[in-house]
A and B are shown apart, each in its own frame.
Chain A
Amino acid sequence: MSENLEQSFVKQLKDNQNIIHKICRLYTNGEDAHNDLFQEITIQLWKAFPKFRGESKFSTWAYRVALNTAITLYRKSTRSVNTVTYEGQFHFISQEEYNHEEEEQLKLMYQAVQQLNDIEKALVFLYLEDKDYNEISETLGISEVNARVKMNRIKGKLKKILNP
């Protein structure tokens, strides 16, 4: 029974891992920290998995737990001091259809998002994932109207960071 549970969890997490990776990218800035957070999220997901009844999609459930872990439970471990940033670690663009200029612009975008605080990052993540304000408000526990206001402020803030 519990082995089945484990198997089903591992398979679903493997298939949905990119959503966790994306959260790790927003909240950490280095490969070690990324892997560290990924592992903590995996542990938290596994702990919460028996309560997951499949009322929502696995990915929806997983990103909620992952966001909560990143914002609330996770403490950067002191052992991983990071000197390598994502710039060297990941190629933001994998397809060749993008040109260099756009790639450069995206890199700057990610750097700008890195400067936001944890809550703002969560809102950005939910926005990028195309979640509506109802879901954003439920995920974070704030009102829908205020989530919308805050999102607009973040857009303004990003614009300011990018075009000083």
Chain B
Amino acid sequence: MEELDLLKKAWKKDNYSFNQVTENEIYSMIHKRSSSIVKWILIISILEFVFWNIISILYLGDGYIRKKYGNEIFEYIKEINTIYNIINYTVVAVFIYLFYKNYKRISTTTSTKQLMSDILKTRKTVIYYVWFNILFFVVGTLVILYVQLNYDSKFASLMQKIHDDTGYMTLCKSIGIILGFMLLIVIAIWLFYKLIYGILLGKLSKNYKELQKIDL
């Protein structure tokens, strides 16, 4: 007889070997909080939406702009800011809608493969949102740098002074440092996500690949 069939024979008679859970225990269980990864993905995603919105509100509020950039280029920055906000809130709305749609689709009663793919899709939506924000952050910084160089006399003269005092190389170096710093932030954020979702979805991704392999 095949090994597995031996197990099968015993399997059916095996119902008495488990400690039986009582009705009261089940009642208390269903009122406990779930630790499922879907719940964590939801929580983290909401935090992400909130976080990036707070950043953009703080970063581009009127008062902050005036203080940081001075009166001279205030109007320019304000205009950029308005465009920024229109794009930003449209995108946020679209992402939240997509996220909600994907999240709603997750159901434990579908097939295992479908369930996994729905979860991964939900998570991808948020990842795209994060990348969008990083890109937006980088582009925004570059645009502002451009405006400062061209329209802000104080900033331009500062750059000119660096240039005159220490030469062209130092100016390049300063700009290089700014860009390098931005790159560093991007890498840090990327690593942070790798870590969070790696912990959360490591097992799921592995099992998903395993299932996909069967159907290759």
Contacts and interface: CB of A to CB of B under 8 A. Distances in A.
B8 A91 contact: no
Given A46-B30, A48-B107, A21 B18 contact: yes
Nearest to B203: A75
Q: Which of the four size classes fits the interface of chain B?
A: 35 or more
A106 B6 contact: yes
A105 B9 CA distance: 13
A38 B21 contact: yes
B66 to A, nearest CB: 48
Given A72-B112, A106-B7, A124-B4, A146 B36 contact: no
B9 to A, nearest CB: 9
A84 interface: no
A146 B215 contact: yes
A13 B24 CA distance: 12
Nearest to A120: B210
B170 interface: no
A140 B15 contact: no
Nearest to A119: B210
B107 A13 contact: no
Contacts of B11: 22, 128-129
Contact of A18 (B6, B15, B29, B204): B15
Contacts of A141: 110-114, 211
A142 B36 contact: no
B115 A68 contact: yes
B14 interface: yes
Contacts of A6: 27, 30
B8 to A, nearest CB: 5
Contact of B207 (A90, A105, A118, A127): A118
B20 interface: yes
B10 A14 contact: no
B17 to A, nearest CB: 5
B10 A93 contact: yes
A73 B17 contact: no
Given A43-B33, A44-B36, A67-B112, 14 more contacts: A6-B30, A11-B23, A18-B15, A25-B18, A47-B34, A71-B207, A72-B115, A92-B14, A94-B13, A106-B7, A109-B7, A139-B112, A141-B112, A159-B3
Interface of B: 2-4, 6-8, 10-11, 13-18, 20-23, 26-27, 29-30, 32-38, 107-116, 119, 200, 203-204, 207, 210-211, 214-215
Interface of A: 6, 9-11, 13-14, 17-18, 21-22, 25, 38-40, 42-44, 46-48, 51-52, 61, 64-65, 67-69, 71-75, 77, 90-95, 98, 102, 105-106, 109-110, 112-113, 117-119, 122, 124, 127-130, 138-143, 146-147, 149-150, 155, 158-159, 162
- Top 5 nearest A-B pairs by Cβ distance? A141-B113, A141-B111, A21-B18, A73-B36, A46-B30
